[in-house]
Amino acid sequence: DIVLTQIPLFLSVTPGQPASISCRSSQSLLHSDGKTYLYWYLQKPGQSPQLLIYEVSNRFSGVPDRFSGSGSGTHFTLKISRVEAEDVGVYYCMQSIQLLTFGGGTKVEIK
């Protein structure tokens, strides 16, 4: 199984400051079709997960442009340019090139 490792596990951010979360995969997520099947989700407190980013860097409908994704192969990053109070929660990366697996999550709180 593909293992996704997220760093850090916990992030405390001052509003308006940037934040960055890393997701490393045990295998390349680049498919022979040229697409990379890595996604980012945010689970706000008491809610179900919501899709933020698909195929590494594409923002889902309605996702603010302060969220961006980058990376390739086995190394990926989610960046929040200016953290807002509503961004608190647990962020998960997920891959779908081989079944579906999730990273362990990164909890983001506001200082």
Partner 1 sequence: EVQLVESGGGLVQPGGSLRLSCAASGFTFSSHAIHWVRQAPGKGLQHVSAISSNGRNTYSADSVKGRFTISRDNSKNTLYLQIGSLRAEDTAVYYCARGYDSSGLIDYWGQGTLVTVSS
Q: Which residues bind partner 1 (CB under 8 A)?
A: 35, 37, 39, 41, 47-51, 54-55, 60, 92, 94, 96-97, 99-105
Task: State which residue, 54 or 67, has the beta carbon closest to partner 1.
Answer: 54
- Write down the least CB distance from residue 15 to partner 1, Å: 26
Task: State which residue, 55 or 81, has the beta carbon closest to partner 1.
Answer: 55
Edge-to-edge strand list for the sheet holding 4-7: 4-7, 19-25, 75-80, 67-72
Other CB atoms closer than 10 Å to residue 82's CB: what's the count? 13
